[in-house]
Amino acid sequence: MAQTLSSRRHWLRELSVLLAQSATPATLSPAPAPPAGPIVGNEDIYEAKHEIKLPVKWTAPEAIRANKFSIKSDVWSFGILLFEIITYGQVPYSGMAGAQVIQMLLQDYRLPQPPNCPLPFYNIMLECWNAEPKERPKFEELYWKLEDYFETESSYADANSIVR
């Protein structure tokens, strides 16, 4: 879905619109996305023009600092969504306040590899959390990486090990 929307130039302010609310992957509920601001200058960047509350734990560092959102900040949020999926809805940065998360991210902290998360899957999440937005993969690349991951025989064995 994200690949299709991004290819049609629609913007996903928050890819973690589907936040897991419980430990079961079947229970998902929508979370409100921040209101979209006008596109400023470059058509690839949104800038919120009024004060909004951000879901800091799902928002890319550059979006927090400059209040500007792009498809690359959506990729960051998608990486957080992958974390939520692989942990069956665990809240990212559990036990940390928003201000603490911001400070840790500025020091290049990233969520640790969850137990039972195969390294190749965690590496995809780390690519989404690259400090340099331009270095994050495009959604089309993520689509192919995830498809390749789940199509390989060894990945299926790894994926089966994380199913409860």
Name residues whose C-beta falls within 8 Å of residue 29's C-beta, 6 or more positions apart in sequence: 18, 19, 21
pLDDT of residue 152: 82
Mean of the per-residue pLDDT values of the chain: 76
The answer to whether the beta carbons of residues 143 and 83 sit under 8 Å apart is no
pLDDT of residue 162: 58
Render pLDDT for 113-152 as a digit per residue (tens, 0 to 9). 999 999 999 999 999 999 999 999 999 999 999 999 988 8
pLDDT, mean of residues 99-112: 94
pLDDT of residue 158: 57
- Rounded Cα distance, 155 and 146, in Å: 10
pLDDT, mean of residues 69-77: 95
Buried b (16+ CB within 10 A) or exposed e, 120-155: ebbebbebbbbeebeebbebeebeebeeebeeeeeb
Give the CA distances from residue 54 to residues 64, 97, 120, 128, 134, in Å, rounded to whole numbers and listed in that order: 8, 13, 30, 19, 22
pLDDT of residue 87: 96
Q: Domains (ranges, CATH) in the chain? A: 2-162 (1.10.510.10)
Name residues whose C-beta falls within 8 Å of residue 163's C-beta, 6 or more positions apart in sequence: none
The larger pLDDT score, comparing residue 39 to residue 60, is at 60
Closest CA to 154 of 114, 119, 115: 119
- Rounded Cα distance, 94 and 66, in Å: 25
Residue 33 has pLDDT above 60, yes or no: no
